[in-house]
Structure 1
Amino acid sequence: MTYNILGKEVGDIGFGLLGLTARAIPDDQAFAAIRAALDAGCNYFNGGEFYGPPDKNSPALLRRYLERHPEDASRIVVNIKGALGRDYQPRGDKQGVRESIDACLQTIGPNATIHQFEAARKDPKADYVEETLATIDEYVRAGKIGGISCSEINANTLREAAAKFAVTAVEVELSLFYNEPMSNGLLEACAELNIPVLAYSPLGRGLLGGKIRSPEDIPKNDMRLMHPRFQGGNLLKNLELVAKVDDVAQRKGCTPSQVAINWLLALSRKSGMPKIIPIPGSTNPDRIRENATIVHLTDEDMSEIEEILASFTTAGTRYPAQAMDLLNL
């Protein structure tokens, strides 16, 4: 199946670019991952200005890829988030947004299009609708970018934004480990307004990727260890959900990641739900193809998963304390 974003068809599953630039990997490896995603139908790319240094971030990677493979430019739909300072604090003021978009446009170059731009976080010091989104809209009306997307906002903010501007997507964490958008009104608002959801971290930051079954499976220098979910007793508790998803996957004859991703697709097909597009990422072409595989989850499968979630509470917050203050605003 496909879905229409700003007149462009995108697959049911997108592709997150963070892993291709978060650490230095050869271009040939990154390009192979991009090509694998495209060939698997995952042509909706989600990147960030702050995904790596300015000369090696998502826009820079896409520029280099399309300089080598210009024939793929028409296949790719690009959502870029920015408006974060070097201290990772939001810059939703007019100057901050302009500097971010200008930098992304200059970096990505003439061969690529930024179809959507979003402020990565709502800036508490700026008027989100009248300043942050209004500035992005200036670039939309000038034809420099395609549309406005939003990130980590709540239902009330979304309704305020959509009342004035054409919001083309909302990016939010959504997975078996974090499903609060199902109950806090955000998915309901997206469905009501016909705005698709970009579900980031659909594998719980790799917990559901099939490789983590004990604390020893996480490298000692892994950045995820800064996140409360991955620390001490929290991780041990969260591995209980991993084991239960493993059981479902074994019965279905698929992988845990396929259960997690296809749960989101099945959720999207339910009455009252918006279009949900999971955006897993990987540097491994085989893993990309695995994540792109459609697995039919029956009503019985979904009921079993619902029972698992009803009996399980994720241990630990999504981010360290200082970052939690910028979520769901």
Structure 2
Amino acid sequence: MPSLTSKPVGATGYGLMGLTWRPEPAPKEQAFKAMRTALSKGANFWNGGELYGTPTYNSLHLLNSYFTQYPEDAEKVVLSIKGAFNSQKFMPDSSPANVRRSVDECLRVLDGKKFLDLFECARQDANTPVEATVETLAEYVKAGKLGGISLSEVRAETIRRAAKVHPISAVEVELSLWSTDILDNGVMDTCAELGIPIVAYSPLGRGFLTGQIKSIDDIPEGDFRRHMPRFQPDVFSKNLDLVAELQKFAQAKGCTPAQLALAWVKSFSGKPGRPTVIPIPGATTEERVLENMVDVTLTDRELEEIEKILKKLPVAGGRYAPGHPTET
């Protein structure tokens, strides 16, 4: 069983973003049911964000309500929160002052109902050396207010620089069948070398790999995916071709496309020369949580066949639009 900050976690985690960061957040009753189901199925690593929603209703407010209703779950959950982001300017601000503001705000909203196991800046601010950011977070770790420090969307060089200042507990980066960048840019190799677990966000390709999105109309108005390059009309049908091939593969395997996608991400974990890899699929309903928690194992031959599909049908479009703050 993998661990984060010396606490055991399941092989699959749970992403909270979709529960609060959308035009119409999921009703609390529905959200709580999904959260409790995730925990009951072993997904005890939860990942949320101060920026996932509004200043008055984001992951932290949802968590406060959840642990108020279910205080017995607090010790069972290993919680990671992203912050230090200027939502008004949509720019990262990992300066010491804003890092302190963000962590203090997270602790204030959690109100002692849940320990903050991990904190990470949503993106590394180009105007602030990562060393200064990590030194600031290390103050909270030493004070016992924070369990560990994580990094998000950073280059291999940044990981090395950060690790020289303070131990890094995890690195959160995008990894899925349609986002394989970290396999070639040194991030996965660096994490393996330094013994840092990878938290794989968007392991279902922001829902695209599930096969549920067949046209742009399947994405709600106001959803940020409508502005992402891979969902645009000029590449949409081409990317659907990849999904169709993966759906055929999943059907032959006897699993759903989502289960196939998660199995592929988890296939890297524990292999020689690879770090621990923990996918954090999001789900707003109990049904989707139960689907995601079905464990599927891929053979070496099946992994080779999937690799052939990815080479034959490469993903069209970038991960983010030009100008989006990201290091990798």
TM class by shorter chain equals over 0.9
Write the distance in 2 (CA, Å) between the matches of 1:315 and 1:147: 36
Matched, 1:105 2:107: yes
- For 2:208 and 2:326, the matched residues in 1 are separated by 23
TM-score (norm 1): 0.96
Distance 2:205 2:191 in 1: 22
Letter in 1 for 2:42: G
Bigger mean CA offset, 164-173 vs 311-320: 311-320
1:113-147 Cα deviation digits (max 9, x unpaired): 11000011110111111x11111111111100101
SS at match of 1:274: coil
8 A contact 2:198–2:275 mirrored in 1:
yes
Counterpart CA distance in 1 for 2:29 and 2:205 is 27
Shift of 1:221: 4.4
Q: Which residue of 2 aligns with 1:3?
A: 2
Deviations 1:283-318 (A, max 9, x none): 110110111110111111101011111223211111
SS in 1 for 2:179: coil
Distance 1:225 1:6 in 2: 36
Matched, 1:93 2:92: no
Q: 1:124 aligns with which of 120, 123, 126?
A: 126
**What is aligned with 1:19?**
18
Q: Aligned partners of 1:21, 1:12: CA distance in 2, in Å?
A: 24
Question: Which deviates further from its counterpart, 248-257 or 21-30?
Answer: 21-30
* Corresponding residue number in structure 2 for 1:327: 327
Give the letter for the 1:312 counterpart. L
CA-CA distance at 1:109 after TM superposition: 1.4
Tell me the secondary structure at the aligned position of residue 118 of structure 1: strand
Is 2:134–2:165's contact at 8 Å kept on the other side of the alignment? no
Q: 1:211 aligned to 2:224?
A: no
Q: How does 1:154-173 map to 2 (within 5 A)?
A: 154-173=155-174
Which consecutive unaligned segments of at least 5 residues does structure 1 have? none
In the TM superposition, what is the alpha-carbon distance from 1:215 to its structure 2 partner?
Answer: 4.0
Cα distance, 1:217 vs structure 2: 3.2
**How many residue pairs align between the two structures?**
325
TM-score (norm 2): 0.96
Name the structure 2 match of 1:233.
234
User: What does the per-residue CA deviation read over 1:249-306, in whole Å, with 9 as the maximum and x for residues that have no partner?
Assistant: 0001100000000101112232211110000011110110111110111111101011
Identity %: 46
- Asked if the contact 2:242–2:314 (Cα under 8 Å) also holds between the matched residues in 1, the reply is no
Report if the CA contact (8 A) 2:151-2:168 is conserved: yes
| Correspondence for 1:79 | 80
Unaligned runs of 5+ in 2: none
Please give the root-mean-square deviation of Cα atoms over the aligned residues, in Å.
Answer: 1.2
Structure 2: distance between partners of 1:160 and 1:167? 10
Q: Distance in 2 between matches of 1:227 and 1:215?
A: 11
